[in-house]
Homo-oligomer: A and B are copies of this chain.
Amino acid sequence: MTVKTIGILLFDNVEELDAVGPWEVLSYWTLTHPEDGYEVRMLAAELAPVTAAKGLRLLPDTTVADAPPLEVLIYPGGQGTRPRLADPAELEWLRGQRETVPLLASVCTGALVYAAAGILAGRPATTHWESLDYLGELDPSIRVDREARFIDDGDVITSAGVSAGIDMALHLVDRLAGRERAIEVRRGIQYDPQPPV
């Protein structure tokens, strides 16, 4: 069986929970059920530690150059997206991913980079609430959704800010492996949220 790879992109000033929330959900699933044929990897330009937006340093597993073809790419948000959405090489790379990766997903302001690359043209999409206007400015053809927790538009999924990546990742498990698996993961990480404020 060929294992399908879900890649979560790390970069300097990536928001910690944008990346680690989906990592927890997805790797709980893939490690508990290897028979489903998926794996999750943390990708980055280099193998050196990435310093995230709140200062946590994370080590990638695999460079982008050495990664196997991806089944799913997850682009997290964070302040580190701002230089990236203005970087022609990054946008060109993303357009190349669009040609080959069946499913592109974003968390939080990861959607801004997709928007700048033209990937969200004419689509419904969302992002962190503070960046909803900017999302529409980057590409006025985007149908900015101000209410959704995440939007599954087929080959693109965008999610709202930070913690919304957990909900989006549970949806991904549901979509890729079925409801039973997603419920199992939800129970495993005891995701019965009760915000105290």
Contacts and interface: CB of A to CB of B under 8 A. Distances in A.
Interface in A134-188: 149-150, 160-164, 166-167, 170-171, 174, 179, 182-183, 186-188
A149 B27 contact: no
Interface residues on chain A, size class: 35 or more
Copy count, this protein chain: 2
Contact of A16 (B23, B162, B193): B23
Nearest to A163: B191
Interface stretch (A48-56, A82-90, A96-104, A111-119): A48-56
Nearest to A150: B196
Interface string A67-100: 0000000000000000000000000000000000
A197 interface: yes
Contacts of A195: 167, 170, 186, 191-193
B17 A149 contact: no
A166 B186 contact: no
Nearest to A152: B196
Nearest to A57: B59
25 contacts: A16-B20, A16-B27, A17-B21, A17-B24, A20-B20, A23-B54, A23-B56, A27-B55, A28-B54, A108-B190, A128-B190, A149-B194, A150-B196, A160-B190, A161-B190, A162-B188, A163-B189, A164-B190, A164-B192, A170-B195, A170-B197, A174-B196, A182-B197, A186-B197, A191-B195
Given A24-B162, A162-B190, A167-B194, 19 more contacts: A16-B23, A16-B24, A20-B56, A21-B21, A23-B56, A24-B54, A27-B56, A42-B56, A57-B58, A59-B59, A128-B190, A161-B188, A162-B189, A163-B193, A167-B193, A170-B195, A171-B196, A179-B197, A193-B195
